[in-house]
Structure 1
Amino acid sequence: MAEEKFFTNRERLVQALVHDCACELQKGLKEHGQATFLVSGGSTPEPVYRELSKRPLPWSQITAALVDERWVDKSHEGSNQAFIEKSLMQNFAAEASLLGMKNAHTSAAEGEADCERVYAELIRPFDVCILGMGNDGHTASLFPHAQGLKEALNPRSEKLCSAITAQQSAVTGANTERMTLTLSGILQAKNIKLLITGEEKLKVYREALLGSDEMEMPVRSILKQGLKPITVYWAP
């Protein structure tokens, strides 16, 4: 069962999550001399990244790696890599390394093997993984009934990365071709933090807890896996 950290406002949520991430990264640095921080895109975690970037951690020993990516170039407005560069890789955190998912291949399916090879070189277990959730119950780029979803949700899979083609919706926008960490990849993180805000997403989260169909609401695969602790951060 997920641990719930609910706050009265977003400022308090940001402060708490920044503190928790910094502590977990420092723990990883103390144990291994380096740390891996798995990061998601989106407007919800942006203030967390901006605040975290101001923390004087030994960032040169920290690698940030994307949880998922639209199959678009970095110059595209939908690029998660570009978003992380602008939000997290600033201030003290400018010294960190950033591992992206988009490579030179035309399609995500063609680029999957190269992406897998690069991610397999990251030190595991990963220290912290930040996830978000959409109003459709997706997390990372694990979208409801997407092409490739069943394989990506296999908890016994050895794959870290998986090409996904989402069913186009208001949530996905036009860029339905994605690369994402698999459920198995996410579960190789010591600390999984699901960040949600607003009453509507709280309602979706409650619905996810009540049901069991992971293809319908893939976030259930994270909430109900029972293998790794997960902390849910929420504010109105």
Structure 2
Amino acid sequence: MIHWRTFPTRDAQAYALANAVVAGIDEALTIRRRALLAVSGGTSPKAFLAQLARLPVAWRDVDITLVDDRWLPADHADSNARLVAETLLPGAKEACWLPLVDTATAADLQVRTLNSTWTHGVPQVCVLGMGEDGHTASLFADAPQWHEAITTHDKFVLVQPQRAPYQRVSWSLAALAACDRLILQIQGPAKRAVLEAAQANEQDNAISRLIHREGVKIDVFWSEE
């Protein structure tokens, strides 16, 4: 099930989304000692992450991680970790940063280690993005690991998309479905059409599989531009 919230501009979307995330964190902290926030990379979240960094949050009680990341050094221009380091972490210095990628080790070993040692549970607040092919996180339907990614009970999967660059570490479909609050940030008419089609009939892409998963609710923050 999805709930739409529409905004005329990306700035208005970013402001509303940042405040919704703060409210989600505050709510989580009323029932637990720490809250886990997962955010996405790419270009769309930049304004939202910068806005979130300026808001009052009990960051000392928050762990921050990524929905997914590319298998790249943290200072690489295409690293999602770098985006978070440049936009959110300067204002969230007291938060605990939990990266998904460690290029000092092998990618498959890193994913096995994450699955065996992760003690933080699933995110209480998870902010997703979506591609025009319907992928969310790094759950690409063209990847050889697609079936595993949408059926495993592990939290993390290693994915190699065929039509997108870089190997990636991603939360699995089951892990995303278990998050307390899922938020999807998208912009423009093309992505709205993709999401509406994914909602209307279950398709072989990640966002459709997630929408049609039993018990899943997604708040969609969509801007016209």
Q: TM-score range by the shorter chain?
A: over 0.9
The C-alpha deviation readout for 1:156-186, integer Å capped at 9, x for no partner, is: x330000111112xxx2x31x1110001111
Residue 13 of structure 2: SS of its match in structure 1? helix
Residue from 151, 154, 160 that aligns with 2:155? 160
For residues 81 and 10 of structure 2, what CA distance do their matches in structure 1 show?
24
For residues 204 and 187 of structure 1, what CA distance do their matches in structure 2 show?
20
For residues 70 and 216 of structure 2, what CA distance do their matches in structure 1 show?
27
Letter of the 2:119 counterpart: E
State the match for 1:139 in structure 2: 136
State the match for 1:219 in structure 2: 207
Equivalent residues in 2 for 1:108-187 (5 A)? 108-118=107-117, 120-122=118-120, 124-154=121-151, 157-168=152-163, 172=164, 174-175=165-166, 177-187=167-177
Residue from 216, 219, 224 that aligns with 1:231? 219
State the match for 2:53 in structure 1: 53
State the match for 2:80 in structure 1: 80
State the match for 1:10 in structure 2: 10
The 4+ residue runs of structure 1 with deviation greater than 3 A are none
For residues 2 and 210 of structure 1, what CA distance do their matches in structure 2 show?
11
Please report the TM-score for the alignment, with normalisation by the length of structure 1: 0.89
Contact 1:190/1:228 (CA < 8 Å) preserved in 2? Answer: no
Equivalent residues in 2 for 1:28-39 (5 A)? 28-39=28-39
Residue 222 of structure 2: SS of its match in structure 1? strand
For residues 57 and 206 of structure 1, what CA distance do their matches in structure 2 show?
33
Structure 2: 5+ residue stretches without partners: none
For residues 129 and 30 of structure 1, what CA distance do their matches in structure 2 show?
18
Contact 1:138/1:144 (CA < 8 Å) preserved in 2? Answer: yes
Residue from 196, 199, 213 that aligns with 2:189? 199
State the match for 2:96 in structure 1: 97
For residues 11 and 88 of structure 1, what CA distance do their matches in structure 2 show?
16
For residues 7 and 44 of structure 2, what CA distance do their matches in structure 1 show?
14
Contact 2:122/2:175 (CA < 8 Å) preserved in 1? Answer: no
Contact 2:183/2:219 (CA < 8 Å) preserved in 1? Answer: yes
- Cα RMSD of the aligned pairs, angstroms, is 1.5
Residue 23 of structure 1: SS of its match in structure 2? helix
